[in-house]
Structure 1
Amino acid sequence: MGALNLLPLVVLFAVVGGVGWVCYQVFLYSNELAERGVKKMEKKNVLFTKDGAKVGVKEVSAEAYADKTQRAFVKTWNAAQDGSPASSTRSRTK
């Protein structure tokens, strides 16, 4: 008769232990997922610190910046001189 009185207590401990194990597995998985996310963001030059997020900027040399700017200016200038439909020729035909 004494062993039957302990059966509900054993079942209770088994259920609590099972729920605790499931919660622990969820905790481990969430930490692993967070670490993967941090590593992925570090590849994109985003660092998370206690103060917040810091974003790194890729360095662009002055020469490369000047080349890109000049190229864009020349394309715009040429498009304006060609009289393409994007220029002011539409307003003259109306």
Structure 2
Amino acid sequence: MSLASALKAQGLTRGPVYATGIMKGYEAARMIADFKAQETIKSMTDRVLQENGCELDRVEKLGVYFEHHNVGSRYGITFQDFVDRVDRGTWDPYLA
């Protein structure tokens, strides 16, 4: 008998005691907020670098992306292959 079945048998169908295996609303809200916060990191980083006179050129930005997302080990390509794919417009990390 699973925990959820045992709780239902006792008449407990809601509240923090009830275990359904489904994500709670506050967990989903927290995950959505975290995701939205990540979307703004790139623009914030660009702004901070620009304000401090530390703008990165295109190759440096690609290098940061390559290292941060572990592109070499994840997709088995070199940095030069990565740059070539970006230049050709064929780089799509979701299809690689």
Higher relative contact order (CA 8 A, sep 6+): 2
Task: Report TM bin, short chain.
Answer: 0.3 to 0.5
Q: Greater share of strand residues, 1 or 2? A: 1
TM-score, length-scaled by structure 1: 0.32
TM-score, length-scaled by structure 2: 0.32
